[in-house]
Amino acid sequence: MVKQAFALSVSSRRVFSLYAGCLIGSLAVGTCAAADTSSFHDAPSAASSVANPYSGQAAVTAGAALYAAHCASCHGGSGQGSGNIPALAHGATQQASDGAVFWFMTQGSVGNGMPSWAALPAQQRWQIVSYLKALPTVKTASTTQSEAVASPITTPPPQPPFTDFRYEAPGNVRKITVNDLPAPYATSSAGNAPTVVPRPAGAMPVAPTGFKVNLFAEGLGTPRVIRVAPNGDIFLAESGSGQIRVFRGMTADGKPKQTEVFAKHLKQPYGIAFYPVGPNPQWVYVGDTDAVVRFPYRNGDLQATGNAEHVVDLPHGPGHWTRDVAFSRDGKTMFVAVGSGSNVDDPDTTPAEKNRANILAFNPDGSNQRIYASGIRNPSGIAIDPKNGQLWTTVNERDGLGDNLVPDYITSVREGGFYGWPWWYMGGHQDPRHAGKHPELKDKVITPDVILQPHNASLQITFYEASRFPKEYDGDLFAAEHGSWNKATRVGYEVIRIPRHHTDKASGEYEDFLTGFVLPNGQVWGRPVSVTAAPDGSLLVTDDGSNTIWRVDYVGAKQ
């Protein structure tokens, strides 16, 4: 039976070996294809139709041990994925055939940070496939508090200005400049995806002195972007559940008084924006992964009064799936952030990258599409400065060049600006994987305003315009750092503050603000995604690691 399973023609076997590793390779950088098994990374039918000769519980058990040894460091202990690494426990991998998964595993994609697993015996690769297919039914053990604090990380301290989670603490100020950047490959490229564990009893995020943290909401379906409507209702994109939720009011203990589901049956909803800009919007716009849609809306609506209306199709497919949406202050332009389909693929030779890694601009009705700014690998979050209308973004940069390359960043966005991806980064630094390409662009690459820790996975930003925090916070930015997978010792997993010192600019420094989401042994229980100021001036932080929303309030001497 086994011999029959591998009785492929020489040409078929060559294609099979060329494809096999692309599954895990592209998964490692967020480039999963659609779930249609006939087109799973263009798998040929000769590979897709091969049956798994090692199926059954014994293969699943053996595959679990092999997965833990070879795959879990990137893809997570339960296949949950992280950052740019999609989940293996659901989605395209689960819908692809066993043969296609095996084929993809064997090839690898070194340029995207994924080695080929062809060196593993075929039997072991098939056993890993068996375990992957069993992931939706596998139960993972919870972590006790005593286990959570055991086995602290003992790697050497990082060299400033670079850091890791062990040295993140509220109030610590950091500033990275282009002069601090190492050469490519100064260290090896790590595969260190987080092991997300249940929040241990008593574990809470840590805020600066004078601030108090409480649990605002829990049990959510992958809470991502959070925005406040003009009337004060709080809208949340539950990307995993495909719905938009609304919270209204706040109790004395900092929890919502009322919760409703505004809209369902969306496709990985992310960005939320109200239009027209001002106190009386008529629409709620939502950035699905493949389109912008909108719902009719009047202040106070807790449920959509009509079906989703299609506004415009968006580039989509493998890779970064988030689509943030914002309107210019004059209401004439709709900005949509579209991340790349890969880590570092050349758009010149990769048609799937067309109109991706850009901030696109449209009229509010979806017409007149144009590129507002380009070369931005994944502008996961965009926001408009309420004081002057300037567009800002927070960006996930590329992986695979070492622990301290390439830094993520937060920046004001210039119309027509080029930010380097994939050929250049941080000004005139060329990615060695594209050596010699586009020399004419070197002097056009814009260096961002605030350089963050590499691999932070910075996802969302907001401007603080409320009055509850001390006066020194007025007009500052807050950003959610989802956390690294491509760094040997974790970094990120926090909320940071970008002080602007009562100006409209950022001088380059940032400050740790909300930390504590990583346990001493490196396990992760929380992953910040989005931030916004609640109507009372407290800060709300979504966390898709524990599926919660945290509220940070300033209490001063009362704490």
Per DSSP, the chain holds a count of helices (H) and strands (E) of 10, 27
Contact predicate 26/91, CB 8 Å:
no
Helix axes 98-107, 10-19, angle to 10 degrees: 70
Q: Which residues pair with 103 in a beta bridge?
A: none
Token pair recorded at residue 530: 């989005």
Query: What tens-digit pLDDT sequence spans the chain (559 residues)?
Result: 333 333 333 333 333 333 333 333 333 333 333 334 445 666 788 888 899 998 787 777 777 767 766 776 567 667 766 555 667 887 778 888 988 888 888 876 655 556 667 777 888 888 889 888 888 876 544 444 444 444 578 889 999 999 999 999 999 999 999 999 999 999 999 999 998 999 999 999 999 999 999 999 999 999 999 999 999 999 999 999 999 999 999 999 999 999 999 999 999 999 999 999 999 999 999 999 999 999 999 999 999 999 999 999 999 998 999 999 999 999 999 999 999 999 999 999 999 999 999 999 999 999 999 999 999 999 999 999 999 999 999 999 999 999 999 999 999 999 999 999 999 999 999 999 999 999 999 999 999 999 999 999 999 999 999 999 999 999 999 999 999 999 999 999 999 999 999 999 999 999 999 999 999 999 999 999 999 999 999 999 999 999 999 999 999 965 5
Q: In what order do the strands lie in the sheet with 283-287?
A: 271-275, 283-287, 291-296, 309-313
Among residues 214, 213, 237, 212, the alpha carbon closest in space to that of 224 is found at: 237
Q: Integer distance in angstroms from the first to the last C-alpha of the chain?
A: 69
From residue 231, how far is each of 246, 284, 299 by CA, in Å? 12, 13, 6
- Rounded Cα distance, 233 and 299, in Å: 9
In this prediction, residue 404 carries a pLDDT of: 97
Contact predicate 554/210, CB 8 Å:
yes
Q: Which residue has the tokens 């930003």?
A: 461
Among residues 197, 290, 276, the alpha carbon closest in space to that of 242 is found at: 290
In this prediction, residue 458 carries a pLDDT of: 98
Helix (H) or strand (E) holding 64: helix 57-70
Helix (H) or strand (E) holding 127: helix 122-134
In this prediction, residue 142 carries a pLDDT of: 42
Helix (H) or strand (E) holding 274: strand 271-275
Could you please report the per-residue DSSP string of 430-448? EPGGGTTS-GGGGGGBPPP
Q: Output phi, psi for 493, to 5 deg.
A: 55, 50
- Rounded Cα distance, 305 and 308, in Å: 10
Residues of the chain with CATH 2.120.10.30: 172-201+216-519
10: how many CB neighbours lie within 10 A of its CB?
6
In this prediction, residue 414 carries a pLDDT of: 98
Q: For the domain bounded by 2-137, which CATH number is listed?
A: 1.10.760.10
Classify the C-alpha dihedral 24-26-29-34 as positive or negative: negative
Contacts (Cβ under 8 Å, ≥6 apart) of 104? 19, 20, 21, 22, 23, 24, 25, 26, 40, 41, 43, 96
Task: Indicate the pTM of the whole model.
Answer: 0.79
Helix (H) or strand (E) holding 204: none
In this prediction, residue 30 carries a pLDDT of: 36
Pairing between β-strand 539-543 and β-strand 234-238 as defined by DSSP bridges? unpaired
Q: Which residues pair with 514 in a beta bridge?
A: 495
In this prediction, residue 73 carries a pLDDT of: 56
- Rounded Cα distance, 533 and 551, in Å: 9
Backbone conformation region of residue 96, classed left if phi is above 0, alpha if psi is from -120 to 50, else beta:
beta
Could you please report the per-residue DSSP string of 176-195? B-GGGPPPTTSSPPP-----
Mark 300-336 as b/e (b = at least 16 C-beta within 10 Å): ebeebeeebeebbebbbebbbbbbbbbbbbeeebbbb
> What's the Rg (C-alpha) of the chain?
23
Residue spans of beta strands (DSSP E) within 135-241: 173-175, 211-217, 223-228, 234-238
Q: Which residues pair with 263 in a beta bridge?
A: 244
Pairing between β-strand 378-384 and β-strand 494-498 as defined by DSSP bridges? unpaired
Residues of the chain with CATH 1.10.760.10: 2-137
Contact predicate 223/549, CB 8 Å:
yes
Contact predicate 450/478, CB 8 Å:
no
> Looking at residue 156, what DSSP letter applies?
P
Q: Output phi, psi for 27, to 5 deg.
A: -60, -35
In this prediction, residue 140 carries a pLDDT of: 47
In this prediction, residue 86 carries a pLDDT of: 67
| 154 class by beta-carbon count within 10 Å (0-12 exposed, 13-18 middle, 19+ buried) | exposed
Contact predicate 464/472, CB 8 Å:
no
- Rounded Cα distance, 281 and 390, in Å: 21
Q: Output phi, psi for 496, to 5 deg.
A: -115, 160
- Rounded Cα distance, 445 and 168, in Å: 30
Which fold, 172-201+216-519? Answer: Neuraminidase (2.120.10)
Among residues 393, 490, 498, the alpha carbon closest in space to that of 194 is found at: 490
Token pair recorded at residue 40: 């799973």
95: how many CB neighbours lie within 10 A of its CB?
13
